[in-house]
A and B are shown apart, each in its own frame.
Chain A
Amino acid sequence: MLLEVNDIHVHYGKIAALHGVSVQVDEGEIVTLIGANGAGKTTTLKTISGLRPLSHGSIVFEGRDISRVPGHKRVLMGIGQSPEGRGIFPGMTVTENLLMGAYARKGDMGRELDEVFGLFPRLAERRTQAGGTMSGGEQQMLAIGRALMTNPRVLLLDEPSMGLAPKLIQQIFDIIKVINERGTTVLLVEQNARQALQVAHRAYVIETGRIVKAAPAAELLDDPAVRAAYLGHGGDNAVGAAGGAAAAPAKAPAVEAGDEVTAIPADSEERREDG
């Protein structure tokens, strides 16, 4: 097992954001964590990458407990993340942003840069443009490219579809597939459950800080409860019997059956608490 998240609890002050989340990611997989706004998806990723301390449980990466390792050292071990809201450096150019990704690495990064530019030709066209002046889609590509520059063994992606038009979302997910096929393990957090489940091998459903379901992604795509709560097919409400049954449907994306327009630009609640 490449990455094991064992029963982690995370608190913001006295408020518990995660009460016992366990996730396993195997080498070469795409694993997705789906759930509504405020369910704890971003917190889970931030805890894995070391931006949030955990109050209970452990995170094991390549057999080593990294629960107490600071975030900047986890990057060197091979945990790369594209953060929520993209988090690109607005005043730096595209190239400077990408080179920041390689900050902790030594040597000439020319080949790595070319690789990212190969994956995102759009970024190559905009090498000298300031990150902050680019469109949302370009910023998302930059955020993923920059995370790749850290040379990750596992790539954590936080809501890569956030705020993007459907056509762009498709492109981003195609690229995630390519990245995975080239050998990078991916842990993907998404509100856009349909797209995430289509690209992933396995999936977890998180509701109010707890994992309520874990299954192969294809299975969840057909699961009536998941379809009802996250894929917009009407019917019963939440997936889990325990906790969040009332909250989940209210927060779940309001998408009509068969409608592919699933761009949800809203911020998650976790971020507001954090800021």
Chain B
Amino acid sequence: MSTDQTQVKSAAGGGAWAGVVERARRRSANVVPGLRELLFALLLVTESAGVVTDAFHDWWVRQPGWSRWTVYVLLIIGAILLPAEGVASIMSPDTDWTTLLFFPVGGYILLAIGLNVVVGQAGLLDLGYVAFFAIGGYTMAVFGTKYGWSFWEILLVGIVLSALSGIVLGAPTLRLRGDYLAIVTLGFGEIVRITANNTDYIGGPNGISGIPHPPQLTAWAFPESFPFGLGGVQPFVYGSLDAHSYYYLMLLLIIVTIIFAKRLERSRVGRAWASIREDEDAAELMGVPTFKFKLAAFAIGAAIGGATGVVYGTQAVSIIPTNFPFILSATILAAVVMGGSGNIPGVMVGAFLVAWIPERVRFLGEYRVLVFGAVLVLLMIFRPEGILPSRQRKAEFAEGSGGMGSMGAEVATATVVEDTAELDDAAPAGGTEAAR
């Protein structure tokens, strides 16, 4: 690299640093002295972390296809080795790490990717997402115990049934917007759970037990001498004692879902969702059939939630209505928002954290939920746009729009548009929108 380039680079770095300091100063300005300095220091850390992740993202999108694929393959290999004993002792000394990896970690990740289609991509606030997870779980339980269908058949049925229920819920309610939609979906989540609780055919409050495991695919096992503590593990033999095979099943489902969701995001459908999320009326004025696409988002999100439920049901062997409480909807939504709504790697990180933190701090006993809550609050203070937000969502967030009802507007501040030339006008652009 020539000296010129180095200078340019360091100048850009200096500019970014000045921006970091400025933002940290501005955001800590209204706090009492004493606390202000502490907040400033913490903001300095999180803001610079933001600059680093942005820089990484910029670098990442410029990489050629083969090097990205190498990273993907390495990530998958890493995921396969994740249940290793060495990792387990650090990540989860108190509970079985592999079981944890299957559910909640894997399950939450899959649910978060599904909810992200609805909330992050189409911008529809769904507070009853657990309903689809429950429908998937009960589909597995009913078809498995009463009709003796195999897991793979039921997976398909579960996906179709939950997608249909998404349409049934969406068709009458998607004319509502923002907060109203959130309330209706919240109700739907409760209706499904309470119906399950009061229907004798599916066991009422006792639920259904004796749900069959998936048929074993092959009795192949990692060789006894295999390192990482995986020796002797049979990844395709499903049973109650060992969660490894279920973890790999979940992993496969997650990978397939990521590919599917990513392709959607980059398609015409993804563009339509983005426009609906950012301004639904304007989207309609562009010729986007907004109702149809909102329904599609609901159905696809529901299908992913249902698939998760089927896999969960087969591993759990027995399910009861209280497996599907409202708090699960809220937790997955927290994962999506905290991770960076709209960005798949972001929501995966978010889901991992909300699944893992409460388990990791289990030694705190009853205080673990308190710690978990504190972590959530701190994250929202220091990184309100999420841990890994997409570029586009970040811009929407700054402007104060971008779906999720009034949630975006209420937490966002008005953007100050810099005056640049003779064309500038009196009122800043996003001001009226965000202030409302």
Interface residues of A (CB under 8 A from B): 46, 49-51, 70-73, 75-76, 80-81, 83, 85-92, 100-101, 103-105, 122, 130-139, 146-147, 150, 163-165, 167-168, 171, 263, 265, 267, 275
Contacts and interface: CB of A to CB of B under 8 A. Distances in A.
Contact of B278 (A46, A73, A90, A136): A90
Nearest to B276: A89
A58 to B, nearest CB: 20
Contacts of A136: 417, 425-429
Contacts of B430: 90, 132
Nearest to B430: A132
B395 A146 contact: no
20 contacts: A72-B286, A80-B285, A81-B285, A86-B429, A87-B282, A89-B282, A90-B401, A90-B430, A100-B275, A100-B288, A104-B287, A132-B415, A133-B398, A135-B424, A136-B429, A138-B423, A165-B424, A165-B426, A167-B422, A263-B427
B417 A135 contact: yes
A132 B428 CA distance: 11
Contact of A265 (B279, B285, B393, B426): B426
Interface residues of B, number: 43
Nearest to B424: A135
B126 interface: no
Contact of A164 (B279, B282, B426): B426
A81 B430 CA distance: 20
Contact of B429 (A89, A132, A147): A132
Nearest to B278: A89
B106 to A, nearest CB: 30
Contacts of B275: 89, 92, 100, 103
Given A133-B417, A136-B425, A71 B285 contact: yes
B396 A90 contact: yes
A50 B284 contact: yes
Contacts of B401: 90, 132
Q: Which 8 A-B pairs have the closest CB atoms?
A: A104-B287, A132-B399, A91-B392, A87-B282, A90-B399, A75-B287, A91-B396, A130-B395
A135 B284 contact: no
A137 B286 contact: no
B402 interface: yes
Contact of A85 (B290, B426, B432): B432
A150 B285 CA distance: 9
B425 A165 contact: yes
Interface string B262-295: 0000001001101100110111111111100000
Contacts of A275: 436
Contacts of A137: 423-425
A87 B426 contact: no
A51 B396 contact: no
B278 A72 contact: no
Interface of B: 268, 271-272, 274-275, 278-279, 281-290, 391-396, 398-399, 401-402, 415, 417, 419-420, 422-430, 432-433, 436
B250 to A, nearest CB: 32
B274 A89 contact: yes
Given A71-B284, A83-B281, A134-B429, A103 B395 contact: no
Contacts of A147: 285
A87 B417 contact: no
Given A103-B275, A165-B425, A168-B423, A72 B281 contact: no
B287 A76 contact: yes
Contacts of B278: 89-92
A229 to B, nearest CB: 24
Given A91-B396, A137-B425, A167-B422, A49 B285 contact: yes
A91 B274 contact: yes
Given A92-B392, A122-B423, A87 B285 contact: yes
Contacts of B427: 136, 163-164, 263, 265
Given A137-B423, A168-B423, A267-B432, A87 B281 contact: yes
B103 to A, nearest CB: 34
Nearest to B342: A91
A122 B425 CA distance: 14
B240 to A, nearest CB: 47
A150 B422 contact: no
Given A105-B287, A265-B432, 5 more contacts: A76-B287, A89-B282, A132-B430, A134-B417, A263-B427
A49 B287 CA distance: 11
Nearest to A274: B281
Q: Which of the listed residues B268, B288, B393, B395 has the most CB atoms from chain A within 10 Å of its own CB?
A: B395
B272 A103 contact: yes
B404 to A, nearest CB: 13
Nearest to B390: A91
A263 B426 contact: yes
A90 B281 contact: no
A226 B391 CA distance: 48
B402 to A, nearest CB: 6
B398 A132 contact: yes
Contacts of A265: 426-427, 432
A264 B4 CA distance: 49
Contacts of A70: 289
Contacts of A105: 287
A131 B417 CA distance: 11
A234 B423 CA distance: 32
A168 B282 contact: no
Contacts of B290: 72
Contact of A133 (B272, B415, B425, B432): B415
Given A134-B429, A136-B427, A91 B395 contact: yes
Q: Which of the listed residues B285, B392, B399, B424 has the most CB atoms from chain A within 10 Å of its own CB?
A: B285
Contact of A104 (B286, B391, B394, B399): B286
A72 to B, nearest CB: 5
Contacts of B424: 135, 137, 165
Q: Which of the listed residues A72, A91, A133 has the most CB atoms from chain B within 10 Å of its own CB?
A: A91
A164 B282 CA distance: 20
B395 A100 contact: no
Contacts of B286: 72, 75, 100-101, 103-104, 146, 150
Contacts of A163: 425-427, 432
A205 B401 CA distance: 33
A76 B289 CA distance: 11
B401 to A, nearest CB: 6
Nearest to B419: A135
